């Protein structure tokens, strides 16, 4: 099972505001390219998102179903992405002072992805979900009432030598990674 952690500069309610808007799903989930339909009862258990993966002309239509929804703490979804398979995705959200710790866990539960050796699948999911949390940070922090100018976007723009928002690094923020590592270590001990 792959697990990623990120600290966001917003409240847990800001994160759940994004998660509660099914039409935003392709904005934060890596691989999802468009929404086709969102059930009226989204994000309650049993609700479905009808989305597509890939890029035109190779688009695969599929769906994600809510398994559990307990704002502002937990959301669990069963995400399908055939032909790869199906995964159980759990998002845990916890306030920490003026910040929020978001942890995403993903585990393949059906289809060919279950046959991929775990270390390989975990490496792919770790990379994918790091970017997923990065995108979620942009949306949740951007929707939050501005409490500080220390959002993910602000930090990345400040790091860029030319103001383009793109740094010379691989896009990772060393201090963010260190914070995430400490958060992950602490949460592991708490579990």
Do 136 and 28 form a contact (C-beta atoms < 8 A)?
yes
3-state secondary structure of 117: coil
| Tokens 């935003």 sit on residue | 24
Please report, rounded to a whole number, the percentage of residues in the chain having pLDDT higher than 70. 82
Taking 70 as the threshold, does the pLDDT of residue 71 lie above it?
Answer: yes
Per residue in 141-173, is it b (16+ CB within 10 Å) or e — as a string? beebeeeeeebbeeebeeeeeeeeeebeeeeeb
Q: What is the pLDDT of residue 187?
A: 59
Which has more confidence, 155 or 171?
A: 155
What pLDDT does residue 171 have?
Answer: 44
Whether the predicted pLDDT of 190 surpasses 60: no
Query: Is 88 exposed, middle or buried (CB count within 10 Å of its CB: 0-12, 13-18, 19+)?
Result: middle
**How many other C-beta atoms lie within 10 A of the C-beta of residue 70?**
12
Strand partners for 65: 48, 78
User: What whole-number distance in Å separates Cα of residue 11 and Cα of residue 48?
Assistant: 26
User: Three-class SS of residue 35?
Assistant: strand
Q: Which two tokens stand for residue 110?
A: 């059906």
Which residues make Cβ contacts (< 8 Å) with residue 134, sequence separation at least 6?
Answer: 6, 152, 171
Distance of CA 10 to the CA centre of its chain: 15
Mean pLDDT in residue range 37-59: 93
Residues 111-143 pLDDT 10s? 988 888 989 989 999 999 999 999 999 999 998
Asked, as a colleague might, if the bond just before 102 is cis with ω within 30 of 0, I would say no
> For residues 78 and 173, which has the higher predicted lDDT (pLDDT)?
78
Q: What is the largest CA-CA distance in the chain?
A: 47
């Amino acid at each position: 099972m792959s697990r990623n952690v990120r600290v966001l500069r917003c409240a847990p309610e800001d994160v759940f505001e994004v998660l509660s808007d099914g039409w935003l799903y392709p904005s934060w989930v890596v691989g999802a390219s468009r929404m086709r339909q969102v059930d009226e009862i989204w994000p309650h258990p049993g609700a479905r998102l009808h989305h597509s993966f890939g890029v035109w002309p190779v688009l695969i239509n599929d769906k994600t179903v809510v398994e559990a929804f307990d704002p502002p703490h937990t959301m669990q979804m069963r995400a399908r992405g055939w032909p790869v398979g199906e995964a159980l995705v759990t998002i845990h959200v916890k306030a920490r002072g003026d910040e929020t710790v978001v942890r995403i866990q993903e585990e393949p539960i059906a289809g060919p992805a279950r046959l991929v050796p775990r270390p390989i699948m975990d490496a792919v999911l770790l990379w994918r979900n790091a970017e997923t949390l990065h995108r979620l940070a942009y949306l949740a922090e951007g929707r939050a009432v501005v409490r500080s100018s220390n959002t993910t976007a602000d930090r990345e723009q400040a790091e860029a030598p030319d103001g383009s928002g793109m740094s010379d690094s691989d896009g990772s923020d060393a201090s963010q990674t260190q914070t995430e590592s400490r958060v992950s270590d602490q949460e592991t001990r708490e579990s």
